[in-house]
């Protein structure tokens, strides 16, 4: 991978680009490479690098069609990556404790990571009325089944299920209507997370903000419909609609904050 090509990517992405380029080289050398779960931005990078090689084909699989996080399968062009096993299992978490209904996405994530599991081994998490279904790599599935016994002080039972039994939960967003001077990242972000403009600038310039899963350090970046913005330690939101101007010349923006 030439240094010129790396300039197309944010410095924080260079290490991942190098790894992805190595996966492409492995496929060019007649190996099939199955990655861990990738976020949408990482998946975009893998597709871009694979498309630069006429000898490599790639497929993304997150366990179900609408998955956000997906594993990439890179293969030489004479093999169909879509026919290669994705190696994804459903970890079902249930409990007889009534407090199970109070658990949220972050509780389940924290319980899994607390066992020493890396984030890349975990796909989408679906919080259900009766528990939770988590997409995980088959390499760690049995470990989690044996060792995940508690989620935020709630004792739980675990079971491994085939993908056909996956239950998904609808995306839930807390809608907010904002009146902002412009579509600048720092202005909208400060309103969503109730920060002063000055306090919002600090994490943005420190590289803790991502727009569509890509690091963004420019506070003046204009947002648009569909953009997903995350701020480490605060959460994330989606721009649902830019609804026009108020009589006072401000912009009405509707956002959805992830719960």
Residues of the chain with pLDDT under 70: 1-6
Residue-wise pLDDT tens digits, 21-57: 999 999 999 999 999 999 999 999 999 999 999 999 9
Q: Among 59, 83, 107, give the residue marking a domain's end.
A: 83
Question: Does 253 lie in the same domain as 180?
Answer: yes
The answer to whether residues 93 and 79 belong to one domain is: no
Q: What is the CATH number of the domain that holds 36?
A: 3.30.1370.160
Q: From 138, 165, 192, give the residue that closes a domain.
A: 165
- Return d(Cα 211, Cα 143) in angstroms, integer: 34
CATH value at residue 191 = 3.10.290.10
Indicate if 22 and 93 belong to the same structural domain.
no
pLDDT of residue 103: 94
Q: Which domain holds residue 235?
A: 173-258
Q: Is the pTM of this model over 0.75?
A: yes
pLDDT at 3: 55
pLDDT at 197: 87
Residues 192 and 212 in one domain: yes
* Statement to judge: residues 79 and 97 lie in one domain: no
**C-alpha–C-alpha distance, residues 43 and 70, integer Å:** 7
pLDDT at 1: 46
**Structural domain total, the chain:** 3
| Residue where one domain finishes, among candidates 83, 107, 134 | 83
Task: Please report the pLDDT score of residue 244 as a whole number.
Answer: 85
Centre a 10 Å sphere on the Cβ of residue 49 and count the other Cβ atoms it contains: 21
Whether residue 71 is found in the same domain as residue 94? no
């Amino acid at each position: 991978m030439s240094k010129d090509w790396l300039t197309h990517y944010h410095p924080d992405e260079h290490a991942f680009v190098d790894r992805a380029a190595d996966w492409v080289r492995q496929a060019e050398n007649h190996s099939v490479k199955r990655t861990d779960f990738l976020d949408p931005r990482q998946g975009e990078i893998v597709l871009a690098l694979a498309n630069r090689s006429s000898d490599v084909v790639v497929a993304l699989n997150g366990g179900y069609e609408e998955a956000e996080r997906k594993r990439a399968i890179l293969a030489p062009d004479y093999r169909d990556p879509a026919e290669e096993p994705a190696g994804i299992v459903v970890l079902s978490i249930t409990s007889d404790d009534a407090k199970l209904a109070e658990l949220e996405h972050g509780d389940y994530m924290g319980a899994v990571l607390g066992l020493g599991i890396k984030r890349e081994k975990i796909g989408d998490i679906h919080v259900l009325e009766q528990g939770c279904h988590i997409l995980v790599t088959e390499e760690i599935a049995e470990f989690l089944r044996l060792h995940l016994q508690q989620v935020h002080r709630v004792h739980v039972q675990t079971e491994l299920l085939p993908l056909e039994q996956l239950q998904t939960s609808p995306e839930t967003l807390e809608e907010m209507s904002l009146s902002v001077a412009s579509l600048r990242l720092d202005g909208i972000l400060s309103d969503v997370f109730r920060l002063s403009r000055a306090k919002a600038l600090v994490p943005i310039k420190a590289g803790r903000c991502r727009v569509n899963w890509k690091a963004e350090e420019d506070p003046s970046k204009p947002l648009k419909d569909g953009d997903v913005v995350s701020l480490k330690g605060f959460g994330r939101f989606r721009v649902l609609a830019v609804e026009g101007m108020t009589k006072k010349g401000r912009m009405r923006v509707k956002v959805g904050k992830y719960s």
